[in-house]
Amino acid sequence: MITFDEALSQVCAAAVSLPVERIALADASGRILFTDVIARSDLPRCDVSAMDGFACRREDLSGPMKVGETIPAGRVPREPLTPGQCARIMTGAMLPVGADIVVMFEEAKEHEGVVTVVKQNPKTNIRYQGEDIKKGTLVLGKGERITPAAMAMLASEGCDPVEVYKRPVVGIIATGDELVEPSAPCPDAHIFNSNSCQLMAQVASTGCVPVYFGIAPDNPEAILSLLNCAIPQCDVIIVSGGVSVGDFDFVSDVLSQRGITLHFDQVAVKPGKHTVFGTGLGKFVFGLPGNPVSTFIIFEMLIKPFLYRLRGHAFAHQSVPARLSEEITRKKSGRIEFLPVCFEPDGSLRQTPYRGSAHIHAYARSQGIVVMQKGIKTLEKDSWTKVILL
């Protein structure tokens, strides 16, 4: 059995970046950049007005000014300002030569083509050339995730198409005689297959492509059949269930027989002790315990960072410090343990009512995870701890 940190290190070290592809910027949200993006020009490209108002010379503000041209955004001014002259200007429009301040319409009075300033304001209301980005500077770096704000940055630099890493295709296989699909009748002693829906959603949330291959009964031939379907189509395969040491746990043996080298099959973590990771045939395979919380946690804490590494992104969980509103205790401390928590209205933290690795409902109502390290049995009330945000 290896530690969780060792498992995470092995998994991330095994990740090999996937190929590049060029796609339309409109399709790039959530993707990972393959190359650095360098500013092709200053932004703004010239001095522009930050407000609707009058472009003026500062030395003329104390007296009346004659209104000249009107400058809309996207048009080059026709003439420079002369003493005692101003120009009507719209937000984002290029400043005329000679202007060094924009007086908002609300702070001026215009009558018969003559403007007087009625409220002095020290702000220039000008966005200066290159104040956002200088030509030749880094806009976004290789390996960065393209967020909605990053989409705007790329568009502002005319980056269309854009080079990104290929999205990993992730196959999902469930195992277990007891499983039925949520759309089917559920006889006594059976349970609905919740793990696959959960994993499909988790995979999609990372920007990868989930593909569902169905439920394999608890026999090696059935598991191998679905595995053979998944291998040609997928970069990564996740199998839930069948990885423990029971009479009907065949996944590890099937993987080995199919040419997958298993790097570990037990991790000192709770939940998720019987987690399997293997490589072979140019694929990456994870075997997860069948309990839904185990599946959920191992994906979030182990597989998610790996899927980002495949695309050159150094993923790190978002976390915040929080004060515990109540004590969190456990009976055994031989393994690192992940526990669901909720924030109180005052920002403090409490453990979500939780009854073990089958109780996925606890995570549906949680905002984060608290880590109890090996050897720690109690987190004291009013102590501060790190919360991994979900």
The total domain count for the chain is 4
Query: Same domain for 185 and 303?
Result: yes
Identify the CATH number of the domain in which residue 119 sits.
Answer: 2.170.190.11
Last residue of a domain, one of 309, 340, 356: 309
Query: Same domain for 201 and 255?
Result: yes
Query: Same domain for 214 and 290?
Result: yes
pLDDT of res. 306: 98
Query: Same domain for 13 and 30?
Result: no
Containing structural domain, residue 157: 20-43+132-165
pLDDT digits (tens, 9 = 90+) for 39-68: 999 999 999 999 999 999 999 999 999 999
pLDDT above 70 as % of the chain: 100
Q: Is 314 a member of any domain?
A: no
Q: Is 233 a member of any domain?
A: yes
Q: Read off the pLDDT of each residue in 183-202 and give the average, rounded to a whole number.
A: 94
Distance, CA of 379 to CA of 148 (rounded, Å): 38
pLDDT of res. 300: 98
Q: Is 269 a member of any domain?
A: yes
Query: Same domain for 277 and 304?
Result: yes
Identify the CATH number of the domain in which residue 39 sits.
Answer: 3.90.105.10
Query: Same domain for 220 and 198?
Result: yes
Q: Is the pLDDT of residue 287 over 90?
A: yes
**pTM metric for this prediction:** 0.90
pLDDT digits (tens, 9 = 90+) for 133-165: 999 999 999 999 999 999 999 999 999 999 999
Q: Read off the pLDDT of each residue in 186-201 and give the average, rounded to a whole number.
A: 95
Distance, CA of 379 to CA of 205 (rounded, Å): 31
Q: Give residue 247's pLDDT band: very low, low, confident or very high (50, 70, 90).
A: confident
Q: Is 288 a member of any domain?
A: yes
Query: Same domain for 149 and 32?
Result: yes
Q: Is the pLDDT of residue 248 over 90?
A: no
pLDDT digits (tens, 9 = 90+) for 348-388: 999 999 998 989 999 999 999 999 999 999 999 999 999 99
Identify the CATH number of the domain in which residue 353 sits.
Answer: 2.40.340.10
Residue 39 backbone zone (phi > 0: left; psi -120 to 50: alpha; other: beta): beta
Query: Same domain for 333 and 385?
Result: yes
Residue 122 backbone zone (phi > 0: left; psi -120 to 50: alpha; other: beta): alpha
Q: Read off the pLDDT of each residue in 317-325 and give the average, rounded to a whole number.
A: 97
Query: Same domain for 76 and 199?
Result: no
Last residue of a domain, one of 254, 281, 309: 309
Angle at 346 between CA 341 and CA 348, to 5 degrees: 35
Q: Is the pLDDT of residue 245 over 90?
A: no
Query: Same domain for 145 and 180?
Result: no
Q: Is 66 a member of any domain?
A: yes
pLDDT of res. 241: 96
Q: How does the average pLDDT of the chain come out, rounded?
A: 96
pLDDT digits (tens, 9 = 90+) for 215-235: 999 999 999 999 999 999 999
pLDDT of res. 246: 86
Query: Same domain for 265 and 365?
Result: no
Query: Same domain for 142 and 252?
Result: no
Q: Is 117 a member of any domain?
A: yes
Which residues lie below 8 Å from residue 361, measured CB to CB, with a gap of 6+?
none
Q: Read off the pLDDT of each residue in 307-321 and give the average, rounded to a whole number.
A: 96
